[in-house]
């Protein structure tokens, strides 16, 4: 499988960043998480004057064979219908991308639909939908490796356009089921704690969803390795996201993490290369059951908690203005050395 050379950012600059932050015209530590974010971004970029340039948001889309088992109240065609909504500019992620000036890219990773050549979508399709993992592996090892490579290509393309801050979202009916299985296998947290209602706001489907996923685990005869779990239970859009996250970290980009599904993708990426987590900023704690447990497992401190559970990357983009504020703080505030203000801490 494709390997990624991800370096932990050098620590030599950290004391200089801390000194600069501490000597801005404010009591030490009084800007809280803004100070933490400025430290992390400066550390990643190895500079006392960090910058955010050409932010990009990629939505990877794919369908799942497990949808045949009725684990979601939404029919599979919603996946491609929502892609048309993205094109029309009317989805949740669209207004946030416009508001925060993100370049929005939509990628067909494995949608069960024939798009036209002229459609405004990036074609990285592996196959029309994964297979049904109740009975067999969702994808072959070869397909998984191809998805990793194609996801990495997408992150590289954004970098080549001058992007240094990137976020990811997904569109794929039943991908909370795949995410719950990744979570339970990779963290050891019991399956019932990992399962949420997904797009079913009533919660009525949870019992059936649990029974199908539990049976899928009982039917699994793989070797339990990280890559085997990724291929057996994953979605093409999820595996492409893993590849894109690993490549973004290799390129020393700042990675904004969205909700439950994207947090499971960074969990999977971290099992392949733990250094990827150094490049991550967690946008929010979502309302999907299991997300808080997963964030706690990763020792992640999300910026927001707005009760969101839409996906698409909406929580990551909602958090972006706060990330921008942290960069403005370190670059635009005066220091005590520059102006005649007595230190008041």
Name residue 36's beta-bridge partners: none
The encoded tokens of residue 124 equal 């990285």
For residue 62, count other CB atoms closer than 10 A to its CB: 33
What kind and span of H or E run contains 243?
helix 236-250
At 95, which helix (H) or strand (E)?
Answer: helix 92-100
How far, in Å, CA of 179 to CA of 200, rounded?
16
- Helices 291-298/260-272 angle, 10° precision: 30
Please give the positions annotated as active site: 312
d(CA 338, CA 262): 42
Nearest CA to 180 among 282, 54, 72? Answer: 72
Tally DSSP H helices, then E strands, for the chain. Answer: 13, 6
Which of the 8 DSSP states describes residue 334?
P
Largest pairwise CA distance in the chain: 71
Give ∠ CA 308-310-313 in degrees, rounded to 5. 95
CB 24 within 8 A of CB 333: yes
- What Cα–Cα distance (Å) separates residue 38 from each residue in 14, 32, 52, 101, 269? 11, 10, 11, 20, 24
The Cα–Cα gap between 84 and 267 comes to 30
Give the Cα separation of 318 and 322 in Å (integer): 9
Distances 202 to 72, 294, 308 between C-alpha atoms, Å: 12, 23, 15
Lookup: tokens for 11: 């620590």
Q: Shortest CA distance to 175 belongs to which of 153, 155, 198, 191?
A: 198
């Amino acid at each position: 499988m494709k390997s990624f050379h991800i370096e932990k950012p050098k620590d030599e600059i950290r004391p200089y960043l801390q000194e600069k932050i501490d000597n801005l015209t404010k009591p030490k530590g009084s800007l809280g998480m803004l100070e933490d974010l400025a430290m992390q971004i400066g550390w990643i970029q190895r500079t006392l004057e960090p910058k955010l340039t050409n932010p990009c948001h990629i939505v990877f889309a794919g369908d799942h064979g497990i949808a045949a088992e009725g684990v979601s109240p939404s029919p599979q065609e919603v996946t491609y219908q929502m892609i048309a909504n993205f094109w029309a500019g009317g989805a949740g992620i669209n207004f946030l991308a416009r508001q925060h000036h993100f370049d929005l890219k939509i990628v067909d990773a494995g949608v069960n639909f024939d798009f036209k050549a002229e459609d405004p979508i990036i074609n990285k399709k592996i196959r029309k939908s994964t297979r049904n993992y109740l009975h067999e592996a969702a994808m072959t090892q070869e397909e998984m490796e191809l998805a990793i490579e194609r996801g990495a290509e997408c992150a590289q393309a954004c970098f080549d356009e001058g992007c240094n801050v990137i976020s990811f979202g997904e569109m794929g009916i039943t991908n909370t089921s795949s995410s719950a299985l990744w979570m339970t296998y990779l963290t050891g947290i019991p399956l019932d704690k990992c399962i949420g209602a997904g797009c079913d706001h009533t919660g009525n489907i949870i019992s059936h969803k649990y029974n199908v996923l539990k049976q899928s685990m009982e039917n699994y005869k793989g070797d339990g390795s990280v890559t085997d779990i990724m291929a057996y239970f994953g979605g093409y859009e999820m595996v492409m996201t893993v590849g894109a996250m690993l490549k973004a970290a290799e390129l020393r980009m700042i990675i904004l993490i969205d909700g439950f599904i994207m947090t499971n993708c960074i969990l999977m990426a971290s099992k392949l290369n733990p250094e990827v987590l150094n490049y991550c900023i967690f946008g929010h704690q979502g309302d999907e059951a299991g997300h808080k447990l997963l964030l706690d497992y990763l020792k992640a401190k999300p910026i927001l908690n707005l009760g969101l559970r839409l996906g698409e990357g909406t929580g990551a983009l909602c958090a972006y203005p706060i990330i921008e504020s942290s960069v403005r703080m370190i670059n635009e505030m005066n220091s005590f050395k520059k102006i005649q203000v007595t230190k008041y801490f």
